[in-house]
Amino acid sequence: MNTFTDQDRAFMQRALWLAQQGEFTTTPNPSVGCVLVKKGNIVGEGFHFKAGEPHAEVMALRMAKDQAAGATAYVTLEPCSHFGRTPPCAKGLIEAGVSKVICAMRDPNPQVAGKGLALLEEQGIKTQVGLCEEQAEWLNRGFLRRMRTGLPFVRLKMAMSLDGRTAMANGESKWITSDLSRIDVQQERAKASAILSTSATVLADDPMLNVRWEQFPSSVQQRYPQNHIRQPVRIILDRQHLLSPQHKLFQQPSPIWLVSHKPRDLSAFSDCCEEILIDEKLDFLPQLMQELGKRQINSIWVEAGATLAGALIEAKLVDELLIYSAPKLLGDQARGLCKFTHLQHLADAPKWELYSVEAIGDDVKSVYLPLLHRE
């Protein structure tokens, strides 16, 4: 049975904080932090910044240099044991002579899945697992979802008035929520591997659906050099081929995947635009999610209208619901949050549990998790 001290928890909390520093840039890799401790003092620490660059353990070992021998490593995810874009971290810890490794959680990646811990133990290094595991899982819920199910973690964002309305009857919706809420949305977007929307939303609002890094707090901007800025893939459902290259969406250099049942001529579109074709004989949204999982999309941020929102919820594909509520009333003629095709009885209404509530200026951000989760 694992027993952890208050000091262990404090060092793992530091490792988790470090891991969070890479939450905007690491996808499709997980966010990982590592702290090396010797005689009660931190001698090295680091986090994984971007796929293809050194992992957290390597960064911590570089800082510690020869002080790593005999140290305890606190790592938010089991050290890898395989050669990928970078050498295995378990091997690096062994060669550095650490005496103990404490992990927040095992890595569900089939290429690791306990092999990293086994390799350490074979070399006489003590290991423990499970310290602050729940926090570590939440931080990497997208990566874990894909590793365990092959599907991305879906986060559905909606903005509404106090009476649950998203737009006036004529479609006017700019802006229900405040500037502060929209800045918060930018940071939530930046965490996602991809942003999912529809041609209907693009035709109505002509959005760019990108991350505006200039709106981030200066403290965040300073952490991310210009060459590390990452834009999520923009995925647009456009089954009727309604979009044209003139939309603002296509004026931005980040990748765009257009989803349809049949191919189109993309020669007039930007080079960063490509197609995903879905078999029209199969369930559209589940098949799309499977395809996105194969393409290493860990998490999806959904910004769309009531039709797609309702369809995703009815298909039980939403893992997290984020609602930004503004202190306004729009009345019964305004447009509602989501459209359900099959819901007829109150007893069958999708049920959610409140995960967190946060005041953002005069607005309220509420996060909900489905009571009947699909995993």
By CB neighbour count within 10 A (0-12 exposed, 13-18 middle, 19+ buried), where does 329 fall? exposed
218 labeled part of a ligand binding site:
no
205 labeled part of a ligand binding site:
yes
90 labeled part of a ligand binding site:
no
311 labeled part of a ligand binding site:
yes
36 labeled part of a ligand binding site:
no
308 labeled part of a ligand binding site:
yes
305 labeled part of a ligand binding site:
yes
Using CA atoms, how far apart are residues 47 and 49, in angstroms rounded to an integer? 6
Beta bridge partners of 236: 197, 258
321 labeled part of a ligand binding site:
no
347 labeled part of a ligand binding site:
no
10 labeled part of a ligand binding site:
no
244 labeled part of a ligand binding site:
no
55 labeled part of a ligand binding site:
yes
List 45, 57, 78, 320, catalytic entry = 57
Tell me, yes or no, if 57 is annotated catalytic: yes
166 labeled part of a ligand binding site:
no
Give me the torsion for CA of 212, 213, 219, 223, rounded to 10°: 150
Using CA atoms, how far apart are residues 147 and 141, in angstroms rounded to an integer? 10
Give me the torsion for CA of 44, 31, 325, 197, rounded to 10°: 150
Binding site feature residues for substrate: 173, 189, 209, 212, 303
Binding site feature residues: 55, 80, 89, 159, 173, 175, 189, 201, 205, 209, 212, 303, 305-311
Binding site feature residues for NADP(+): 159, 175, 201, 205, 305-311
Residues involved in catalysis: 57
Binding site feature residues for Zn(2+): 55, 80, 89
